[in-house]
Amino acid sequence: MKFGRMKAQRRNRVMLVCLILLSTGAAVAFALLALNQNINLFYTPTQIVAGKAPENKLIRAGGMVVAGSLVRSGTGLDLRFIISDLRAAEVEVRYAGILPDLFREGQGVIAHGKLQDDGVFYAEEILAKHDENYMPPELLQEESQPE
Amino acid sequence: MLLVNSVKQFVTRRLPDALHRLGSPRLFFETSGRWLPWLLALSVGLLLLGAIWALLFAPADYQQGHSVRIMYIHVPAAILAQSGYLMMAVAATVFLVWRIKLADIAMQSAAALGISITFLALVTGAIWGKPTWGTWWVWDARLTSTLVLFFLYIGMIALRAAMAHRAGVGRACAVLALVGLVNLPIIKYSVDWWYTLHQPASFSLSRAPTMPLEMWLPLLVMVLAYYLFFFTAWIMRIRQLILVREKDTDWVRQWLASL
């Protein structure tokens, strides 16, 4: 029986395949590490509060809408709310327009707009972020009812 | 002693024989021809069962309502877009190392299927994104890396077309398939490594389901159905390409005459 005794030619080819995989893997890994912040779609409230996000430039900010923070102007489509992350940093977002159906307090949003000098994020577009959990409505009611 | 001998015979003679046979286009064509009707019936049946279950009987989502049903089309398509590439890369490796002609044909066929299923994943994702996120498209890491996957499949087909009838076309395509393999972990982990609009994975066999059984089961059926359908369509495409490549041989002429 001849196991592990491949012909030299075949062994070279296996080495070639490994070399291709390793070299492209390493090259792409370095490129991604270098581009890390540019690949992130949005800045978190922590980053914005720490001054890591550029001001007066079109960027995206993402976080959870703080429960009870949504205030509508009452006359038009103007509204404002506060986004936060798990590290308790908070950023006020102002927006005039139609919100996506899934926009809710306590849910994730991504705002596209500009951070002004006053520390307020003026959004031109709001996107709703949802998580990977799905549930029928009946089940939600059962869960929220006390035993 | 008898057992040892039969094991030895299996390993030294039967197994290489079987592999050799699998690599012979003619024997693959004949063997797969017997399996094909069953595979076809099973995959179409499973697809119908899964689609009816998912689209008519599975419950709506508490947030998304009926839009969540797009998941049953989108998630399996996205899984197969990546699995299809992996299978293509395996075929590429086999071809590079052992120079089996059938592996080259399998690689070529997987590219054609992969491009369609990646297109389906991108389109259903956009259709799902509009009512839920509020946008058709955003350049986040998950969406962009999936678009790169689509371009890689296009590159595979374009390279083969550009080098058609030239020696080394199979080897060039195989190298491209292996280079593009680096994109698969990027797609998979994009939602964990970077901030994205896309949510983390909903379907995994290694983690607890992210949805109740009445939603997870139809999704599982759809994933299995997509896999089976992919294999069936793959075999059909391989058979077609075998006929094209071997059209001047006696056995193909005889097979055509027997139709």
A102 neighbourhood in chain B, CB within 8 Å: 63-64, 132-134
Question: Do A72 and A29 sit in the same domain of this protein?
Answer: no
B61 → closest Cβ in A42, A127, A135: A135
Return the pLDDT at A145.
53
Across-strand partners of A60?
A112
**Is the Cα dihedral A51, A55, A60, A63 positive or negative?**
positive
Exposure of B49 in the CB half-sphere (CA atoms within 13 A): 15
| DSSP conformation letters of A79-99 | EEEEEE-TT--EEEEEEESPP
Could you tell me what percent of chain B has a pLDDT over 90?
Answer: 81
A140 neighbourhood in chain B, CB within 8 Å: 62
Q: What is the pLDDT of residues B204-259, one digit of tens each?
A: 878 888 899 999 999 999 999 999 999 999 999 999 999 999 999 999 999 999 88
Residue B111 lies in a domain: yes
Residue A53 lies in a domain: yes
- The number of folded domains in chain B is 1
Question: Do A120 and A85 sit in the same domain of this protein?
Answer: yes
Residue B183 lies in a domain: yes
Q: A74: which 2 tokens?
A: 């009452």
> What is the rounded distance in angstroms from the CA atom of residue B51 to the CA atom of residue B54?
5
Return the pLDDT at A5.
57
- The number of folded domains in chain A is 2
Helix ranges (DSSP H) in chain A? 8-34, 36-39, 45-49, 137-144
Per-residue pLDDT for A115 more than 70? Answer: yes
Q: pLDDT band at residue B71, thresholds of 50, 70 and 90?
A: very high
Residue B171 lies in a domain: yes
Question: Do A18 and A88 sit in the same domain of this protein?
Answer: no
Residue A142 lies in a domain: no
Question: Do A98 and A124 sit in the same domain of this protein?
Answer: yes
Residue A147 lies in a domain: no
Q: What is the pLDDT of residues B103-126, one digit of tens each?
A: 999 999 999 999 999 999 999 999
Residue B116 lies in a domain: yes
Domain range for B101 is 79-198+233-259
Question: Do A14 and A72 sit in the same domain of this protein?
Answer: no
Name all contacts of B163-171 with Cβ < 8 Å and 24+ positions apart.
B170/B95, B170/B104, B170/B107, B171/B95, B171/B96
Question: Do A125 and A102 sit in the same domain of this protein?
Answer: yes
Question: Do A24 and A69 sit in the same domain of this protein?
Answer: no
Residue B60 lies in a domain: no
> What is the rounded distance in angstroms from the CA atom of residue B244 to the CA atom of residue B252?
9
Q: pLDDT band at residue A4, thresholds of 50, 70 and 90?
A: low
Q: How far is B35 from chain A (nearest CA, A)?
A: 32
Name the closest residue on chain A to residue B60, using Cα atoms: A136
Residue A136 lies in a domain: no
A41–B194 CB contact, under 8 Å: yes
Question: Do A63 and A90 sit in the same domain of this protein?
Answer: yes
Residue A138 lies in a domain: no
Q: How far is B42 from chain A (nearest CA, A)?
A: 29
Q: pLDDT band at residue A147, thresholds of 50, 70 and 90?
A: very low
Nearest Cα to Cα of residue B87 among B225, B217, B227, B223: B227
Question: Do A26 and A45 sit in the same domain of this protein?
Answer: no
CATH code, domain carrying A59: 2.40.50.140
- Residue B126 touches chain A, beta carbons under 8 Å: no
> What is the rounded distance in angstroms from the CA atom of residue B133 to the CA atom of residue A101?
8
Question: Do A91 and A108 sit in the same domain of this protein?
Answer: yes
Residue A106 lies in a domain: yes
Residue B7 lies in a domain: no
Question: Do A28 and A71 sit in the same domain of this protein?
Answer: no
Largest Cα span, chain B:
70
Return the pLDDT at A86.
75
Residue B45 lies in a domain: no
Domain range for A64 is 41-129
Residue B137 lies in a domain: yes
Residue A84 lies in a domain: yes
Return the pLDDT at B165.
84
Question: Do A60 and A110 sit in the same domain of this protein?
Answer: yes
Instruction: Give the mean model confidence (pLDDT) for residues B24-30.
Output: 91
- Residue B178 touches chain A, beta carbons under 8 Å: yes
